[in-house]
A = this chain, B = another copy of it.
Amino acid sequence: MANNISDVIERYLKRILQQSQSGMVELQRGDLAELFQCVPSQINYVISTRFSVDYGYVVESKRGGGGYIRIRKVELDPTTPLSRIAQSIGHTLSQREAEAIVESLLRENLLTRREYSLLKTVVHRDVLGVDLPLRDELRARLLAQSLVALTMARAEDE
């Protein structure tokens, strides 16, 4: 479609992702930027707009000498309850709401008791220990991302 560099880079990455057996690409930001004659931060833009977790990608990177960016495609079934709930969590979340969520997940056997216990701790105000409203925002991120992690962990476990 569009002739902008971002789309070109996107197609390039998706093509090599498809071709790789492992479902993973590893690249150096500077190399890719050079290949497409753009500034390095353009690569970050492409990744953040087109390879986010919402689209089913996991991106890891490392800075420093020998650094890299690694993109993996994960099977993320959006109908699975955990990821649906993760998506339904907004920008802020009270402790009461968070506890209601993890308790219902435990009841439905979507969490083990250990996982439940762990999440109960993670969302507790004393553990977070920062002031509102930051605390509720932090809690929302922690719980949402934790549920996403659990969704993907299952996929990885084979």
Q: State which residues 24-46 of A face B: CB under 8 Å.
A: 26, 28
Known: A127-B141, A127-B142, A128-B138. A150 touches B114 (CB 8 A): yes
Chain A residues near B (Cβ < 8 Å): 1-4, 6-7, 26, 28, 64-66, 68, 112-122, 124, 127-130, 134, 137-138, 141-142, 145-146, 148-150, 152-157
A116-B115 Cα distance, complex, nearest whole Å: 10
B7 touching A66, Cβ below 8 Å = yes
A120-B148 Cα distance, complex, nearest whole Å: 12
* Closest chain B CB from A6 CB (angstroms): 8
A141-B65 Cα distance, complex, nearest whole Å: 31
Known: A26-B1, A122-B142, A149-B120. A156 touches B66 (CB 8 A): no
A149-B122 Cα distance, complex, nearest whole Å: 9
Contacts of A4 in B (CB 8 A): 64-66
A26-B1 Cα distance, complex, nearest whole Å: 8
Known: A127-B141, A145-B127. A2 touches B66 (CB 8 A): yes
B130 touching A138, Cβ below 8 Å = yes
A97-B99 Cα distance, complex, nearest whole Å: 29
* Closest chain B CB from A93 CB (angstroms): 13
